């Protein structure tokens, strides 16, 4: 197990489309996932995509539990999940603005519109299919992490760059966008 270096905005690996994983059960994928989970936990993130650790493969790990800033439980928490070759299908055209942060964009947060309800599919580490219909924070996290697989960082999804701020300044001068600021680290 190893804590991996996290790529920051500007690194080319974060701009490219990640490759499909041919064999989700391969030992190198298992090793990558173990290291990604350790790295995500060490960094205090909610999710992590393989390109964020300099590996251009379609792999994400995430856990949607309590929000870290308030400790309030979410309506539908999701334990640690490994998702390989994920695909997302929006189930509504409705979007909601929410605060997001990113381990690859340290120190900043921004208000990002995301679909409110999605279905995602992929396979787990053992090759078993995963399919879930989710909404709210869970849907936001998956959209954020899967964007990494297509070379997209959350500032590219923002519709109003005036809502991109340093975390400390956002705490000193909060902006009400209609969602709790506790979700600022929504998809780190």
Say how far apart CA 157 and CA 42 lie, in whole Å: 27
Q: How far apart are CA 109 and CA 177, in angstroms?
A: 13
Report, as residue numbers or ranges, the catalytic residues: 145
**CA 4, CA 6: separation in Å to the nearest integer?**
6
Q: Which tokens hold the place of 59?
A: 């792999």
Look at residue 159 and give its three-state secondary structure. coil
129-132 long-range CB contacts below 8 Å, 24 or more apart?
130/81, 130/83, 132/78
Intra-chain end-to-end CA distance of the chain, in Å: 21
Q: How far apart are CA 60 and CA 50, in angstroms?
A: 6
Q: Distance between CA atoms of 58 and 30, rounded to whole angstroms?
A: 13
């Amino acid at each position: 197990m190893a804590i991996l270096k996290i790529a920051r905005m500007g690194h080319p690996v974060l701009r490219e489309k990640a490759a499909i994983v041919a064999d989700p059960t391969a030992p190198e994928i298992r090793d990558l996932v173990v290291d990604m989970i350790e790295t995500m936990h060490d960094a205090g993130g909610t999710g992590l995509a393989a390109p964020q650790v300099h590996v251009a493969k379609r792999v994400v790990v995430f856990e949607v539990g309590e929000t870290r800033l308030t400790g309030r439980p979410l309506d539908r928490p999701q334990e640690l999940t490994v998702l390989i070759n994920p695909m997302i299908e929006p189930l509504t055209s409705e979007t909601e603005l929410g605060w997001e942060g990113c381990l690859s964009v340290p120190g900043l947060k921004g208000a990002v519109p995301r679909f409110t309800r999605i279905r995602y599919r992929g396979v787990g580490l053992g090759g078993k299919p995963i399919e879930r219909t989710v909404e709210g924070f869970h849907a936001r996290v998956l959209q954020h992490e899967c964007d990494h697989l297509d070379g997209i960082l959350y500032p590219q999804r923002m519709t109003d760059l005036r809502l991109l701020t340093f975390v400390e300044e956002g705490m000193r001068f909060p902006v009400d966008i209609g969602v709790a600021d506790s979700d600022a680290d929504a998809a780190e």
